Structure formats: C-alpha cells, structure tokens
C-alpha cells in the first residue's frame, strides 16, 4: 500500500507540516505514478535501493512493495519522524541526512545499489554528477527531475539540450529519458512537467584519461558556449592542442563529444 493525495494531506495536517519551498518539496501523491516509477527502476527482491528525498514515503512504499531492501534518506528533520512512522513498519531503513554532504560510504557500505529518487531542481544536477563521481556502489539510477533537467542529463551531441552536464554524465554512464510525469500528481503542483531518467553506470568511464583536467576544460568551454573554442579555451589550453587533438579551433563546445574532450585533456604535444 502506498499514499494517496488524501493520505498525504492528512499526514501534513495532523503533524502541522507543509511542503518546504526552500527544499523544493513536491510530494508525489498518485499511487499509480509511484508504482510506475518502481517498475521502470527494474528493482526486486535481490536489489538494495537507495532513495534520496523520501518525503512522506509514497515512493518509498512502492519501492518496498517490489521486495527490494530500501534505505530512505531525508534531510527535513520535521518530516523524518512522520516518514519513520509511515515506512519503518514496512521494513524500510530511514537515514536523516543531507544528500549533498553525507558520507555515502557509511550509508551504503559496499555495493551494488540502485538509486531511485524524486529530486528537487536545485540539487538534481550536482547530486547526480557527485554520485557518479564518488559513489561507485550506485550502479544504476532512476531519477525524477524537472523535464528540462532530464533532457540535459540525457542529451547527446547535436541535441538542443546538450551541455556540460551531458558530457560529464556520458563519461560515467548511459542516460535515457524513459517517461514523463505531469504536474497533477504532485502536492503542491509544480509549474512544469517532470522527466524520468534512467542512468546506468558504465563498466569503464567513456572518456578515460585525466578526468579532472577534462572537467576543467568542459566547464571552461561551456562557460562561453557561443564562442569558438580557440576563444573560450584561451589561456586554458595551448592553441596547438586543439589541432593536435583533432579538434577544429572554430568549433564550439556543444559540437564536442566526451571522447573529443578526453583527447584534448590528455594531449601532450
């Protein structure tokens, strides 16, 4: 059993709570939607699931219904006691922590884990990238994010949404938008649609080489994305490096794949 709109409203009222705008809270209040997310996450009794931003536990319960072992992380100290009341009887482990600063090693131990989360706009992009960079125990993710964010996470060269985060995600994982979610299933209702993005960690990072240097170049290039690379990367790379790496100096950042950035990052002359 999961939570309906009425259930969520009654829990909030009974405990004197309200969704936090500062935390970007929009609770999913449609049982069909959370069960759909659980299906798309492809989790079951043999899986360990990490949920970030569990809220009042609607998605948490749907994930637990699959038979997976679920650890729910929630930062809102006002909501955590209610979350515990709702999901701990179903066998869920609740961790009160900020996903942006928690020591994930103490939460996850050894892998593998599948992350499933409804992520607020203000943390979605940095959190996904940080998890890919620093938490190899998480081998797959299914994240619900604002549609615009989802398109950027999954974009490829030539896509309108292609940007720095697209390259970084592609280095670590394959990403695909696998569904859309309307505003009507949330409380409160956001002003935009949401996207469900499936992210699968690669066995070996696609770019290889010097990731730190590659990330520096990507951020510099996309920081002035309308400029030609010979201008946007001036002072960051030797002009000869572009030619040496097989990249046109007149190209723009959005034209380069992760492999292009990796070659540029490791070019020695």
CA distances for 64 relative to 43, 71, 73, angstroms: 10, 10, 14
What string of pLDDT tens digits covers the 269 residues of the chain?
A: 789 999 999 999 999 999 898 888 899 999 999 999 999 999 999 999 999 999 999 999 999 999 999 999 999 999 999 999 999 999 999 999 999 999 988 998 887 999 999 998 889 999 999 999 999 999 999 999 999 999 999 999 999 999 999 999 999 999 999 999 999 999 999 999 999 999 999 999 998 878 999 999 999 999 988 899 999 999 899 888 999 999 999 999 999 999 999 999 998 76
Write down the pLDDT at residue 22: 86
> Bridge partners of 174?
200
Cα-flanking dihedrals φ and ψ of residue 247, to 5°?
-115, 130
Write down the pLDDT at residue 235: 87
Retrieve residue 71's tokens. Answer: 């650890």
Write down the pLDDT at residue 269: 60
Map out the domains of the chain with their CATH numbers: 5-201 (3.40.50.150), 211-266 (1.10.8.100)
CA distances for 127 relative to 51, 100, 118, 143, angstroms: 13, 7, 12, 11
What is the distance between the alpha carbons of residues 29 and 50, in angstroms, rounded to a whole number? 20
Q: How many CA atoms lie within 13 A of 23 on its CB side?
A: 21
Angle 93-88-116 from CA coordinates, rounded to 5°: 50
Cα-flanking dihedrals φ and ψ of residue 194, to 5°?
-115, 160
Task: Give the residue carrying structure tokens 């909030």.
Answer: 12
pTM of the model: 0.94
């Amino acid at each position: 059993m999961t939570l309906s709109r009425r259930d969520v409203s009654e829990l909030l009222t009974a405990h004197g709570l309200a969704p936090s705008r500062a935390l970007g809270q929009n609770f999913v209040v449609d049982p069909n939607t959370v069960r759909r997310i659980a299906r798309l996450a492809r989790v079951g009794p043999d899986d360990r699931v990490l949920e970030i931003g569990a809220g009042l536990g609607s998605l948490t319960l749907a994930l637990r219904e699959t038979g997976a072992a679920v650890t729910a992380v929630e930062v809102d100290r006002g909501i955590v006691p209610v979350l515990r009341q709702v999901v701990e009887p179903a066998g869920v482990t609740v961790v009160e922590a900020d996903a942006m600063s928690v020591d994930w090693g103490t939460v996850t131990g050894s892998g593998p884990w599948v992350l499933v989360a409804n992520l607020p706009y203000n943390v979605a992009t940095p959190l996904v990238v940080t998890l890919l960079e620093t938490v190899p125990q998480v081998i797959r993710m299914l994240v619900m994010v604002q549609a615009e964010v989802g398109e950027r996470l999954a974009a490829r060269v030539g896509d309108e949404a292609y940007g720095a985060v697209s390259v970084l995600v592609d280095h670590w994982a394959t990403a695909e938008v696998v569904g859309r979610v309307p505003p009507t299933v949330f409380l409160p209702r956001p002003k935009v649609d949401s996207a469900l993005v499936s992210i699968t960690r690669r066995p070996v990072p696609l770019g290889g080489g010097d990731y730190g240097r590659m990330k520096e170049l990507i951020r510099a290039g996309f920081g002035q994305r309308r400029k030609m690379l010979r201008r946007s990367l001036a002072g960051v790379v030797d002009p000869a490096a572009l030619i040496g790496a097989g990249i046109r100096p007149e190209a723009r950042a959005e034209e380069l794949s992760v492999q292009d950035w990796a070659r540029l990052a490791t070019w020695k002359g």
